[in-house]
Amino acid sequence: MQPIAHAEATNSTYGAPYVAGNFAPLMNEVTAFDLQVVGRIPEALTGRFLRVGPNPVDEPDTEWLHGYNWLAGTGMVHGLRLREGRPEWFRSRFILDQHTARIRGKSRFPVRARARATPTSTRTSH
C-alpha cells in the first residue's frame, strides 16, 4: 500500500479503551491506492464499503474523556472500493463540523437553516 497521507493513530495514555489501541483516533485523512491484500477477496465482490464512525480530531485530554461518548463527537468517513475482488482505493475524511473545521483550518459546509443539531459522527452532508 502506498498512502498519499500517512495515517497515524494517537498513543493515548489515558487508559480509556475507546480512544486507545485499535480504537485510537486517526489524526490524518488518508487516500491510498495499490492496496496489499492479506488472504483472498472473492472475485464476485464489487462495490463500496463505507463506514461512518467516531474519530476525535485532536488529542483528547482527561477532562474531555470524562464525558466522552462515541456517538456525540467528531466523526470520520472511511471508504473502500472493490472491483472484481481487487481493492482499488481506500479513503478516509473527517466530517467537518465547526470544531473540526477550525482545528484543520478548513471551511465548513453550509448547513440548512432548519437542520437539527445531531452528533457529527452519525450524520454526513448529502
Domain ranges of the chain: 2-106
Identify the H or E element spanning 94. strand 86-94
- Cell numbers that stand for 97 in this block: 463540523
Evaluate whether 123 touches 56 at the Cβ level (below 8 Å). Answer: no
Within 10 Å of residue 67's Cβ, how many Cβ atoms? 7
Q: What is the pLDDT along the chain (126 residues), one digit of tens a residue?
A: 444 444 454 444 455 666 777 777 788 899 999 999 999 999 999 999 998 888 878 766 666 666 666 666 678 899 999 999 999 999 999 888 887 888 888 877 665 555 555 555 455 544
Residue 107 buriedness (CB in 10 A; 0-12 / 13-18 / 19+)? exposed
- Cell numbers that stand for 56 in this block: 476525535
pTM: 0.67
